[in-house]
A and B are shown apart, each in its own frame.
Chain A
Amino acid sequence: MKKVLILIYFISLISLIYANSQKEESNALSSSIKITPEIKKKYPLKHSHNKLSLDCIFCHVGQGVNPENFEAVDEDKCLFCHKSKIYLAKRLEFMDTLKANPHNSVHDGPNLYCDECHREHKPSVNMCSECHLKEIKNNIWMKDTP
């Protein structure tokens, strides 16, 4: 009898946890994060991402519901939509004057992390300008990093 009771207790506990996690999941999907104007201002999105009305959870999946606690996401989140660096390099081949295609460059091949240059909530940078300031300033290679 005692054993059965314990078993029932455990089953109900597990289902409770399960239900809770489901709720969190669906909450997340319908975005339980209220994106206030303050949050929007603090964590602005890039133009194209904004147009798609991406919400926080789209990238920060599984990181809770408080934007203050979010961590930088791995690049597989970027590549979920943007496929691969080689794919990007092919599409942007027209920029490839003097082998400067940043997604498959002469120095780094396709090995750079996206956020070496692209920043979502801050202005992006151009890492190549560490050494190639002139080429970039003179717009020989690339436009501003989106």
Chain B
Amino acid sequence: MAKITRRNFFKLGAVGAGMLALGNNVNASAIDSKKVKYDEEYDVVIIGSGYAALSAGITAAKKGDKVLLVEKMGRIGGNSVINGGLLAVVNSPKQKVEGVQDSIDLYMEDSMKAGRYINHPDLLKVIGKRGNDALKLVEECGAKFYDKLSHLGGHSVPRTYLAANGSGSGIVLPMFDYIEKLPNVTVKRRTKFDDFILEGDRVIGITAREKYKFDSKLKDDDFENKSGTKKYFKAKKGVILASGGFSCDTFYRTQQDPKIPADADSTNQPGATAGVLLKAFELGAVPVHVSWIQFGPWACPDEKGFGAASNFNINASFRYGISVNAKTGKRYMNELADRRTRATAMFKLVNDNKNYPINICDQVAVDKIIPDIAEKALKAGVVKKYNSIDELAAAYGIPVAELKQTIGKYNDYVKAGQDPDFGKPVDKTDGVLIAKAPFYGTKGVPKLHHTMGGLKINTKAQVISSYTKAPIPGLYAAGEITGGTHGASRLGSCSIPDCLVFGMVAGENI
């Protein structure tokens, strides 16, 4: 291999040097625009169809750009359409109605604390400032929200909107309907981005395969799946990467954290893989925090994926109830701590011969949440209803005297507004005790949920190059494919605003 001196590094240009650095990997070459005959031409090409892609697409199209969205799956919306529909907005209209005092500083402090202070504050600030713009955008598309704000773990105050249908689809579907009606937008499904086309060092298009069909039986679809017909799409103004995270990429996630078993369950859609991220790295994008992978602490081992229990635990058990060690009947964590803290505490139990913790709340808690969420979880059989604490304890083999003592102690903490044991903010749980039958129990387990790391972007959503330390011309990114914003651990309901805001920013700046 040729020796790269500093001088010929610059002569080669960033891409050439990237190819050299990557050795013999034939896939490592982006395609030279001069050698390309384009099948179709657009101003803006966007990879993905979730919050980030739709937000970027709508914003760019409103400016008059001719836009193409490519989505490799048959389904629209990636993780966004199966998500919990929880969206944190700082200084929102609903906070005004509920008299909640909030500020961008407080939001940033909450996020930085959960993120172990390795967050990139400039990016976080953009989300804090522009959350209301994102909310306006989705409401204009027709998204509706539940009346009451939710209060999620790690947030100092309630600031979370919940889509009226209890799912991210309550936001994605209106956005998709909206974008489909725009005459200057084309959406191609089962079309997979493969590579960048460059003009000099500028990203000017992509190659993609139409009629591509994702195959969940393959171990590594990005690598093995050859289906589809190759096409060349020009992107005169640039390309926006909005292809999400890589929680289902068993190869890449194991490289980042070898402790994650290959068969570990994830809440994500099967197409959440690292292919696009890796292509952008080849092009020279700066990788940030790629090994910070988040587990969702509210999942249930009795079902696959996010399932029906997660939303129940997020909204009811963790906020208004407790989580106990089934062997001892004692609490072992702050049920409203950030996800990393909770997942770590839970894995300590789970790794002890699958001693799954039990999440518990009462009828008053359940009356406070959307009836749909409880009904779904009960019907699925993942949340169970018991007439007494004795019955509940017997069902999970929890020592009953200990459990009753734990509940008594917890109720006292709620009344006093302080939890000296684990520091749960019981002053903000509406005074809900564990007292009124029936009682609800769920087995808990953390599942692979979110990849915090990804591409380094600046506050204009431009992807930064390792070679030049400056934006890669024509390349933008938004959403879970980007990294740094959430640091080591993302707070719940902070991804939707991240995706929507930076999608919007990318659409504005491209």
Residues of A within 8 A of B (CB): 72, 97-99, 106-109, 111-113, 115-116, 127, 129-135, 138, 140
Contacts and interface: CB of A to CB of B under 8 A. Distances in A.
B379 A112 contact: no
Nearest to B305: A131
19 contacts: A98-B372, A98-B375, A98-B379, A107-B167, A108-B75, A108-B76, A113-B189, A127-B75, A129-B304, A130-B304, A131-B307, A132-B307, A132-B380, A133-B303, A133-B307, A134-B308, A135-B376, A135-B380, A138-B380
B74 A131 contact: no
A107 B173 CA distance: 8
A106 B166 CA distance: 9
A134 B167 contact: no
A108 B49 CA distance: 13
Interface in B4-22: none
Nearest to B377: A134
A134 B303 contact: yes
* Chain B residues touching A, range: 20 to 34
Q: List the 7 closest pairs (A to B, CB-CB), nearest first.
A: A131-B305, A134-B380, A133-B304, A107-B169, A134-B303, A113-B74, A135-B380
B176 interface: yes
B227 to A, nearest CB: 10
A138 B307 contact: no
Contacts of A72: 213
B420 to A, nearest CB: 38
Contact of A140 (B176, B305, B372, B379): B379
B75 A111 contact: yes
Contacts of B189: 113
A113 B302 CA distance: 29
B269 interface: yes
Contacts of B169: 106-109
Contacts of A99: 165
Most buried by B among A111, A129, A140: A111
A97 B379 CA distance: 10
B270 interface: yes
Contacts of B303: 132-134
Nearest to B300: A134
Nearest to B382: A134
Nearest to A72: B213
B381 A116 contact: no
A129 B303 CA distance: 10
Contacts of A133: 303-305, 307
Contacts of A111: 75-76, 173, 176
B81 interface: yes
Contact of A107 (B81, B177, B379): B81
B246 interface: no
A106 B5 CA distance: 57
Contacts of A131: 82, 267, 304-307
A13 B355 CA distance: 80
B74 A98 contact: no
A109 B372 CA distance: 18
Given A133-B303, A134-B381, 13 more contacts: A106-B169, A107-B81, A108-B169, A109-B173, A111-B176, A116-B75, A130-B269, A131-B307, A134-B303, A134-B382, A135-B376, A135-B379, A135-B380
A107 B177 CA distance: 13
A132 B76 CA distance: 18
Contacts of A97: 379
B165 A106 contact: yes
Nearest to A97: B379
